[in-house]
Structure 1
Amino acid sequence: MRMPEFFQPVTLAGYSGYLLEIWNVPDFRVQLQAFLASDRDVHAPLTKYSDRAVYCLKLNSGEVYIKRYLINNLKPTIQALFQAHKAQKSWRIARILLRKGILTPQPVAFLHCRTSWRSGEYLLITQGVAGGLSLREYWQFAPEKKYLSSYFQEGDNPIALKRALIRSVAEFLGKLHLAGAYHGDLTANNILLARCGEQWRVYLIDLDAVRSTRWISERRRIKNLDELGRNFLDLRLLTTPDRLRFLKYYLNTYTKETRTLRELFYAVLQRTQFRLQKHQQQFIRSAPPSTFMYHSDFVKEPPVIISEFQDKPKQQPVVNMPFFDREPGWRLHIFPAWQDTFQTLADVAGFLARPKIVLQSHNRGEVFLIRHSGQQFIVKRSLTQEKRWWAQFTSWYRAGEGERTLRNMERLHTSGLPVPQPVFILEKKRFGFVMASWSVYQYLEGQPCTCAEVERIAAMLRTLHQQGWVHRDPHVKNFLLHDDQIRMIDCTRARPWRSRYARMYDVVLLNKCCPGSMKYYGVPDADWVYQLAQWQCSLLVSWRRLKRRLRFWKK
């Protein structure tokens, strides 16, 4: 590695690296060496994860923050070999941002230590910001000024202070993008504030996900604006004119933007809608313009905003239903227990036309709750079957998604397992291929399980395996707790397999969801079949992560 400017090589307590010249004094070296030689458990970390931890070290000359990165497996070892480890990138990006005039805590030292060819650690030491406070902490405690006495003074105008903060953050983000820097995790926790009179100084921290390029795509800039909007620009904290002020100041700083304020506003709004649907959050339709504050200095027409924080309107959901009884190709199969309730396709069409609640709506499907004759039913519509040609093609020999789900559910219900009772399957076929698939089953009472009930879930999974089945998606949210009994839902991927490897893969998936659940199932750590299934699971996770990155660059 080339010698960084203003840094000197140093070796302390088995660590080697670089130390800033002005900090290379005996007092700091002694205190830092004492920290490195001591046991880490003596110092309480601010945050701690399996591969990294953050410590605050109070010295005579001020505070420094030490971020410790552990190299404990093969992946970070290979990354470090190619200068692509998070610690190396953070160290490099911090110096690049400072050269470009972007405020970030000054790096003090970068040290590394190797204990073997695949284990070691990196230490990135940065100077603390005097009076620094994260943006999330500021908005969390701003209403209670007793927690932020150093930030508020007598005679402060809260509106002027808020607008100054909006302007500072917007200009900082515009300057960041103009410098060719992009933060992959731009949340309110990664923005540090320091008040200077009536103005604010904004710092960027946690540089693990920062990239510095010559040009930032429009998609990444919109993503940054939406990420910041999740915890700073939502309507609980700022009004609509405040959001427009933010974008106006951003456009004044980022001079490369060719779109108008209104166009940028709706581009961010569209990204927000996509994020809500991706994370399966209920989509709230736009409210009338009169319900929002409007300021004529920014746009000629009041904007319509879709917010995940608005109160849900209590009204009948509107669902675009196909004309089941008029369009050709629809096929109906009613299970024997429900043939008296639903007899014709017209009865089914009238039943599906009156949903009570839309439980889920995302790119893979829609889920409704319907009441009929004093009973409740769950209706699932597979958008995957309607939009993906591969799902339609494979339905020629393995049936549609709805039929596979209810056939599995029927066999599990017949075996005495606690699953919903299937009602009917509705599919549309063309030339033998399933083009649309709807499935209806009886509603089960119960509360979604959490990791607190993982022991009971493991027992239910063991019972399922003893019956000769594997679940293939044993996430805790696919189980319900009712009257001290575990019930199973979402049996789409269940299969009647007696393979021990398939059963161990179920345990691996449950243990991934709730760490430590394997001991309740009764699988030892040294079981070679379990270790093989765990290796396959990690391999699939890496493959999916690679596919997501390729899709990102493809767009």
Structure 2
Amino acid sequence: MSDKYKIGDYNVFTKSNGEKYLQIFNDFLTYNINVLKVFRSIDDTKVLLIDTQYGKFILKVFSPKEKKIERFLKSIFKGDYYEALFHQTERMRKNGVDTINDFYLLAAKKTFRFAHSYIMLIEYIKGVELADYEVIDDDLKNKIKASISELHQNGMVSGDPHKGNFIIQNGEVRIIDLSGKSPSLLRKAKDRIDLERHYGIANNIKDIGYYQFIYKKKFRNFVRKVKGKEIR
């Protein structure tokens, strides 16, 4: 179970018994954090590695600026994407799926259900990015495939299983930057097709979702061709 709080203008979710995560959040609000590394810093997104009295964490600050009307409508009809991701991660970890990185705290500044900004505290995984591997051998490919299959079996998808979203820690595969979207057949098929595209891991499941993906892609490429754009 997660705990919910109201702290200032923020709706805050933490893992159960998450007092230490609330302390880190309050330290952030009072500018009392020790930044070890900046992974990303653009106008709407900051991703930092921070050091705290409880260890190292990833701190992400996201204040989306674009597509406000679209995001407002989605918040009404589909709910909050990151809130869904937080609860999905919590459920997966309770199910014993420890390949995914844990999600400790989510704070959102909202007007009704529409979020203006998010603060996230996420597990820091010390290891080697898959992108840094010159050769991905069959053993590692099998572990990558198994990790995605485990996600799907437990009702979650990666959404973008490229090399930057896998970290190898002590020889085992960890998955980061997961999707909070519902695990439809089409999204599962996309994960498998992306594995084949990125790593040469054969997709042996050709279900309804697979054909949905294939025909959707063909239709999009047809539209792009008509518009004179490059076919992907």
TM-score by shorter chain over 0.5:
yes
Partner of 2:146: 459
Correspondence 1:313-462 to 2 at 5 A = 329-343=9-23, 346-350=26-30, 353-362=33-42, 365-384=45-64, 386-389=65-68, 390-417=70-97, 418-450=99-131, 452=136, 453-462=140-149
Distance 1:430 1:444 in 2: 33
1:468 alignment partner AA: G
1:329–1:468 distance in 2 versus 1, CA, 3 Å: closer
In the alignment, is residue 511 of structure 1 matched against residue 196 of structure 2?
A: yes
Distance 2:67 2:107 in 1: 18
Correspondence 1:130-529 to 2 at 5 A = 329-343=9-23, 346-350=26-30, 353-362=33-42, 365-384=45-64, 386-389=65-68, 390-417=70-97, 418-450=99-131, 452=136, 453-497=140-184, 499=185, 501-514=186-199, 516-518=200-202, 523=204, 527=206, 529=208
Q: Give the deviation of 1:513 after TM superposition.
A: 2.5
% identity of equivalent residues: 20
Partner of 2:216: 536
Aligned-partner SS, 2:142:
helix
Q: Give the deviation of 1:359 after TM superposition.
A: 0.2
Between the two proteins, the alignment pairs up a number of residues equal to 215
Name the structure with the higher strand share: 2
1:352–1:334 distance in 2 versus 1, CA, 3 Å: farther
Q: Give the deviation of 1:398 after TM superposition.
A: 3.7
Distance 2:113 2:31 in 1: 26
2:119 alignment partner AA: W
Distance 1:352 1:439 in 2: 16
Correspondence 1:55-134 to 2 at 5 A = none
Q: 1:381, 1:438 within 8 Å by CA — same for their partners in 2?
A: yes
Q: 2:35, 2:49 within 8 Å by CA — same for their partners in 1?
A: yes
Q: 2:108, 2:118 within 8 Å by CA — same for their partners in 1?
A: yes
Q: Give the deviation of 1:403 after TM superposition.
A: 2.3
1:494–1:391 distance in 2 versus 1, CA, 3 Å: closer
Per-residue CA deviations over 1:420-462 (Å, capped at 9, x if unaligned) read 2222111111244211112111211221114714332112112
Distance 2:154 2:86 in 1: 18
1:446–1:508 distance in 2 versus 1, CA, 3 Å: same
Distance 1:513 1:545 in 2: 25
Return the index of the structure with the highest Cα Rg.
1
Per-residue CA deviations over 1:318-354 (Å, capped at 9, x if unaligned) read xxxxxxx7xx632222221422452596444136744
1:428–1:480 distance in 2 versus 1, CA, 3 Å: same
Distance 1:545 1:440 in 2: 43
Aligned-partner SS, 1:342:
helix
Distance 2:194 2:44 in 1: 21
Q: Give the deviation of 1:494 after TM superposition.
A: 4.9
Partner of 2:3: none
Q: 1:449, 1:477 within 8 Å by CA — same for their partners in 2?
A: yes
Q: Give the deviation of 1:545 after TM superposition.
A: 9.1
1:455–1:347 distance in 2 versus 1, CA, 3 Å: same
Q: 2:127, 2:169 within 8 Å by CA — same for their partners in 1?
A: yes
Distance 1:370 1:533 in 2: 39
Per-residue CA deviations over 1:60-117 (Å, capped at 9, x if unaligned) read xxxxxxxxxxxxxxxxxxxxxxxxxxxxxxxxxxxxxxxxxxxxxxxxxxxxxxxxxx
Distance 2:183 2:102 in 1: 18
Q: 2:165, 2:177 within 8 Å by CA — same for their partners in 1?
A: yes
Q: 1:454, 1:476 within 8 Å by CA — same for their partners in 2?
A: no
Distance 1:456 1:512 in 2: 16
Q: Give the deviation of 1:480 after TM superposition.
A: 1.2
Q: 1:429, 1:436 within 8 Å by CA — same for their partners in 2?
A: yes
Distance 2:34 2:221 in 1: 40
Distance 1:436 1:400 in 2: 12
Distance 1:335 1:528 in 2: 36
Per-residue CA deviations over 1:337-378 (Å, capped at 9, x if unaligned) read 422452596444136744322101245622111110151111
Q: Give the deviation of 1:543 after TM superposition.
A: 5.8
Aligned-partner SS, 2:22:
coil
